[in-house]
């Protein structure tokens, strides 16, 4: 089985994430894409929405997409998990023959800081999602998406057109309460 791994905080998930998934399913030679929400990104100190809420949101918006599975491996571990551990999990439990690792162009600069990155590069084919004017090395495969939104921007100000309708009310309620609690 040829699979893609698309991980992230998804705090909150948005239509840009869906566009990445749809594009990967069309353009990559894969049987399935695993969307894997992080318990906590190893480079961050905190999350905003709790892991189980983010997992619930992803399940709600992605259930209608064939070829997409939600991987709760990192959330079950309840601690920051390096990508390589998730890749080993996918190889072992899904008998993957090939794994594409989908990352955003904003991750290229920190890629050399990832845990066991040289080993990871041997295990996966890295696919980089375009974002803004970020340069992508020619040695890496590109996935042309260019949706100009981020979860960080959406946490500061919910823009309804970027949040899937299935979770819009819940996302608005959660982040408005979070903002009120911080002020």
Inter-CA distances, 131 with 10, 16, 103, 112, Å: 16, 11, 11, 19
Number of domains in the chain: 1
Q: What is the CATH number of the domain that holds 128?
A: 3.40.50.620
Provide the CB-side half-sphere exposure for 122 (13 A, CA). 3
Whole-number pLDDT of residue 19: 96
**pLDDT band, residue 181 (cuts 50/70/90):** low
For the segment 53-72, the average pLDDT, to the nearest whole number, is 97
In percent, the amount of the chain with pLDDT more than 70 equals 97
Residue 180 has pLDDT above 70, yes or no: no
Averaged pLDDT of the chain: 93
In percent, the amount of the chain with pLDDT more than 90 equals 80
Over residues 128-137, the pLDDT tens digits come to: 999 878 889 8
**pLDDT band, residue 177 (cuts 50/70/90):** confident
Q: How far apart are CA 95 and CA 3, in angstroms?
A: 10
Q: How far apart are CA 73 and CA 59, in angstroms?
A: 14
- Do 86 and 71 form a contact (C-beta atoms < 8 A)? yes
Which residue range is the domain that position 25 belongs to?
Answer: 2-182
């Amino acid at each position: 089985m040829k699979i893609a791994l698309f991980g992230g905080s998804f705090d909150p998930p948005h239509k840009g994430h869906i566009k990445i998934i749809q594009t990967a399913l069309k353009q990559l030679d894969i049987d399935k894409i695993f969307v894997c929400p992080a318990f906590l990104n190893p480079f961050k100190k905190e999350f905003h929405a709790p892991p189980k809420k983010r997992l619930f949101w992803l399940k709600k918006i992605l259930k209608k997409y064939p070829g997409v599975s939600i991987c709760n491996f990192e959330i079950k571990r309840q601690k920051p998990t390096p990508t390589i551990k998730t890749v080993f999990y996918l190889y072992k439990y899904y008998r993957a023959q090939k794994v594409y690792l989908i990352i955003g162009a904003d991750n290229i600069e920190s890629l050399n800081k990832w845990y066991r990155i040289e080993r990871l590069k041997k295990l996966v084919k890295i696919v980089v999602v375009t974002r803004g004017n970020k340069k992508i090395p020619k040695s890496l495969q590109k996935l042309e998406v260019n949706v100009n939104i981020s979860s960080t921007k959406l946490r500061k100000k919910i823009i309804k057109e970027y949040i899937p309708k299935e979770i819009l009310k819940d996302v608005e309620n959660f982040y408005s309460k979070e903002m009120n609690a911080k002020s």
